[in-house]
């Protein structure tokens, strides 16, 4: 069987009676053609069964349609689900993604950024905290941050204060004798720092005894298990006989603590209530579905990609108008009540 000939710009030009320059404009700058001529060429592509040569297009106009994604880790459910939602946006926006997990290593992430830039990415989505927004803004491509320091780049974040305040208020409403918040060391310019403020303000307003425990839990189950076991043992000893409301900074840690309780008591004791933060799949899949502050991960991912695409498309215009200053969007959280709170 004879091999089918690839359709070229010359073939399309002959079929439509347009010049090859006009055909090239259709692919690289369609707005320069009238809607009628765009439709004629589009119909011709269907008739000729044209298959676009992506490599040729990249060489011709330098536009790769690649977006870089830099995340801290795939071990934690929040990051893996956020990445899943970002990748799913291909169906809506048509951009492909090159993904690196930096694991918090400065030298590694600088190398990954260089690698991404060598692939001529058109934009970058960053969840990792290692590189400053000043460094990211110097890359001279559109950058959107998610839940990290964002002074010099656009961002999409959760209202962390509101989420923490609502979670803490639920524990107070459920008559917990003492409230405990577990979190990692977090700088004040990181959005998640507001979870600590929301917790403390709710406790102070209600006059409820409370304690904040700050520990480095790392980025994986293996790193978090030992410090959470130690904290659990101390809580058991110090607050015996009291109803304990524990608000954890993410669902992975809430699930680890839940497992520690079940291993010891073979159930979730009545004197414990747990609330996580993220709304990651693990919160719903746990042996006792975990109450959590849902970050609406799908909406955050879509807002981030949409914001990035608008900036990338602007750069392709004949007279682009760059952003005068970074755009910061906030997505409201949803308090999700499940079996770990009464």
Q: What is the pLDDT of residue 59?
A: 43
Q: Are residues 279 and 255 in the same domain?
A: yes
Question: Using one digit for the tens of pLDDT, what is the confidence trace for 50-100?
Answer: 766 554 455 445 567 899 999 998 889 999 999 999 999 999 998 999 999
Q: Are residues 134 and 181 in the same domain?
A: no
Q: Is residue 2 part of a domain?
A: no
Residue 23's domain is classified under what CATH number? 1.10.260
- Split into its structural domains, the chain has a count of 3
Q: Are residues 80 and 103 in the same domain?
A: yes
Q: Are residues 164 and 274 in the same domain?
A: yes
Q: Are residues 57 and 185 in the same domain?
A: no
Q: Is residue 276 part of a domain?
A: yes
Q: Are residues 24 and 41 in the same domain?
A: yes
Q: What is the pLDDT of residue 74?
A: 87
Q: Is the pTM of this model over 0.85?
A: no
Mean pLDDT, residues 294-309 taken together:
96
Give the domain range for residue 83: 66-157+297-330
Q: Are residues 169 and 273 in the same domain?
A: yes
Q: What is the pLDDT of residue 4?
A: 52
Q: Are residues 289 and 175 in the same domain?
A: yes
Q: Are residues 24 and 150 in the same domain?
A: no
Tokens 């952003």, residue?
323
Q: Are residues 199 and 282 in the same domain?
A: yes
Residue where one domain finishes, among candidates 61, 88, 103: 61
Please determine, for residue 5, whether its predicted confidence score (pLDDT) is greater than 60: yes
Residue 174's domain is classified under what CATH number? 3.40.50.2300
Mean pLDDT, residues 274-279 taken together:
97
């Amino acid at each position: 069987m004879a091999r089918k000939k690839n359709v070229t710009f010359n073939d399309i030009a002959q079929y439509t009676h347009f010049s090859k320059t006009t055909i090239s404009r259709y692919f690289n700058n369609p707005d320069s053609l009238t809607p009628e001529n765009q439709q004629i060429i589009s119909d011709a592509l269907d008739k000729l069964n044209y298959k676009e040569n992506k490599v040729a297009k990249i060489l011709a106009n330098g536009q790769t349609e690649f977006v870089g994604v830099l995340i801290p880790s795939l071990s934690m459910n929040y990051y893996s689900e956020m990445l899943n939602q970002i990748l799913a946006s291909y169906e809506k926006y048509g951009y492909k993604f090159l993904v690196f997990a930096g694991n918090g290593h400065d030298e590694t992430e600088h190398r990954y950024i260089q690698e991404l830039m060598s692939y001529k990415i058109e934009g970058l989505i960053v969840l990792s905290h290692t590189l400053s927004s000043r460094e990211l803004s110097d890359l001279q491509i559109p950058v959107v941050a998610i839940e990290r320091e964002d002074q010099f780049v656009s961002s999409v974040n959760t209202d962390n204060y509101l989420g923490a305040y609502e979670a803490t208020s639920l524990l107070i409403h459920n008559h917990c004798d003492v409230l405990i918040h577990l979190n990692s060391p977090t700088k004040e310019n990181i959005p998640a720092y507001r979870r600590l403020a929301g917790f403390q303000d709710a406790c102070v307003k209600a006059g409820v005894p409370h304690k904040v425990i700050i520990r480095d839990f790392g980025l994986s189950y293996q790193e978090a298990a030992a410090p959470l076991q130690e904290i659990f043992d101390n809580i058991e000893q110090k607050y015996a006989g009291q109803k304990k409301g524990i608000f954890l900074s993410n669902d992975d840690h809430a699930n680890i603590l839940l497992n520690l309780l079940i291993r010891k008591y073979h159930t979730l004791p009545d004197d414990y209530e747990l609330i996580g933060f993220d709304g990651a799949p693990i919160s719903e899949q746990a042996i006792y579905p975990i109450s959590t502050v849902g970050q609406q991960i799908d909406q955050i991912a879509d807002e981030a990609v949409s914001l990035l695409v608008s900036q990338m498309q602007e750069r392709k215009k004949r007279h682009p108008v760059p952003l005068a200053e970074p755009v910061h969007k906030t997505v409201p959280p949803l308090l999700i009540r499940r079996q770990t709170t009464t």
